[in-house]
Amino acid sequence: MSSPSKSKPAPLAPDTQVGGYRIVRRLASGGFGVVYLALSPDGQRVAIKEYLPASLVERAPGESAPVVPPDKLALYRLGLKSFFEEGRSLAQISHPSVVSVLNFFRENETVYMVMNYLDGASLQEFVITARELKRKKIFRESTIRSLYDDILQGLRVVHQHKMLHLDIKPANIFITDDNKPILIDFGAAREVLNQQDKRFRPMYTPGFAAPEMYKREGAFGPWTDIYAVGACIYASMTGYPPYEATQRMDKDRLPAQLSKLRGVYSDNLIEIVEWCMALDAMARPQSVFNLQRELGAEDARRYTNLTLSEKLRLHIDELVNDTKSQVKKVRDVTRFGAVVQNSPQPGRDDPFPRERN
């Protein structure tokens, strides 16, 4: 048995058989598991997600069952239960904008979820590629509107099933080769509209997580996913994630950043982002339907350029803010010895860091 080191559990080797499927190769590994490309008995390509939380289990190369140290068993089982829940909930939903679950089963003392294999890339990869081209716009407004219209149709069905996604971000929106967006990774989704089990407070992703996700007693609802959709639209306009909600509560730079988009995108689209990303949950669209109506509105697409004096004021505002944030950073570092532990190191672990300005 391997020593209790920090090394990641090994993925299943190519050609391993599991539940009648043959593993072809690993596609990705995250904190909670591994996603494989595999072949079904009739030769169809599928994506299989294996529950394998890196912080709780060990697995040596060539082994199939993970080894769970006794002190981590309770947590492992709790996670297993919610992973199973993810599969069960998703299996009830059939919508072209939501990844299809074909099967899920237990084997090797863990759980596997079989999904339709998608050819394409995540929206995050598209955003990063587009921003490297250094154009004024990341995506055209019409592209953004139709992309999010498709996503919202899927999200509406998710909400109708009394589920919330709770981790909507460009990395969890897959764009297929025939240009269809598909919501993936419902790992954080729970039947939270009915009951809120405090043990399952989901993990949050800086920039995309609504302010209530940081609060112990935060009331989640469709508005929580809607905040994340607003943040995704923002990233699709600017190429970068917005400031984290906790930072915004301290000093909100979003209005200034959105002003910079005036004249580039319509006033209406900018207002939609501002509406979705209101810090006060009750000030956001309360349902996907509300938002769809506004996003689909073809009228009133006005473009108002900034006046020279507005541009100057923005510039001065930024200079002041930058000085303040430099000072604050130095203070935070000296006070805590290090900057926030959970956030990924910009540019190192995090492939999609926030813009530095």
Per CB under 6 A, 122 contacts ligand ADP: yes
Do 211 and 128 meet the contact criterion of CB atoms below 8 Å apart? no
The 99-118 contact track toward ligand ADP, x by CB under 6 A, reads: x---------------xxxx
User: Using CB under 5 A, which of the segments 2-10, 52-60, 143-151, 180-188 binds Mg ion?
Assistant: 180-188
Choose one: 38-46, 177-185, 237-245, 296-304; the region binding Mg ion (CB under 5 A).
177-185
Residue among 122, 113, 119 nearest 91 (CA): 113
In the chain, the amino acid numbered 95 is H
For ligand ADP, the binding residues in 65-104 under the rule CB under 6 A are 99
Q: Which does 35 bind (CB under 5 to 8 A by kind): ligand ADP, Mg ion, none?
A: ligand ADP
Assess contact for 347 and 341: CB atoms under 8 A. Answer: no
Indicate the residue among 32 and 265 with the shorter CB distance to ligand ADP.
Answer: 32
Q: Is 110 in the site for Mg ion (CB under 5 A)?
A: no
Smaller CB distance to Mg ion: residue 187 or 222? 187
- Residue placing its CB nearer to Mg ion in the complex, 183 or 258: 183
| Residue of the chain from 28, 60, 203, 319 that contacts ligand ADP (CB under 6 A) | 28
Residue 210 interacts, among Mg ion, ligand ADP, none and using kind-specific CB cut-offs from 5 to 8 Å, with none
Rounded to an integer, what distance in angstroms lies between the CA atom of residue 194 and that of residue 173? 25
Q: Which of these segments, 52-60, 145-153, 182-190, 308-316, binds ligand ADP (CB under 6 A)?
A: 182-190
| Window of 22-30, 199-207, 243-251, 316-324 that interacts with ligand ADP by CB under 6 A | 22-30
Cα→Cα distances 95→286, 305, 351, Å: 22, 39, 29
- Contact range with ligand ADP by CB under 6 A, out of 138-146, 183-191, 195-203, 342-350: 183-191
In the region spanning residues 282 to 321, those forming contacts with ligand ADP, defined by CB under 6 A, are none
The owner of tokens 């200079």 is 319
Question: How many angstroms separate the first and last alpha carbons of the chain?
Answer: 49
Cα 317 from Cα 311, distance rounded (Å): 10
Exposure b/e, 24-63, CB count within 10 A at least 16 = b: bebeebeebbbbbebebeeeeebbbbbbbbbebbbbeeeb
CA 285, 286, 292, 297 torsion-angle sign: negative
List the structure tokens of 307. 């006046």
Cα 154 → chain centroid? 15
Which of 89, 97, 108, 172 lies at the binding interface for ligand ADP (CB under 6 A)?
A: 172
Report the site for Mg ion in 198-257 (rule: CB under 5 A). none
Looking at the Cβ atoms of 176 and 321, the one nearer to ligand ADP is 176
Structure tokens at 299: 């009228």
* Least spacing, CB of residue 169 vs ligand ADP, in Å: 9
Residue 50, binding choice from ligand ADP, Mg ion, none, Cβ under 5 to 8 Å by partner class: none
- Identified binder of ligand ADP from the candidate list 98, 151, 158, 184, rule CB under 6 A: 184
> Could you say whether residue 124 binds Mg ion (CB under 5 A)?
no
Rounded CA-CA distance 140/130 in Å is: 11
Residue-level length of the chain: 357
Which residue has the CB atom at the shortest distance from Mg ion?
185
DSSP of 156-181: HHHHHTT-B----SGGGEEEETTS-E
**AA identity, residue 83:** F
Q: Give the tokens for residue 300.
A: 């009133």
Q: Does 172 bind Mg ion (CB under 5 A)?
A: yes
CB atoms within 10 A of CB 258: 20
Residue 70 in tokens? 């006794």
Q: Which residues bind Mg ion (CB under 5 A)?
A: 172, 185
Q: Which residues bind ligand ADP (CB under 6 A)?
A: 27-28, 30, 32, 35, 47, 99, 115-118, 122, 171-172, 184-185, 187
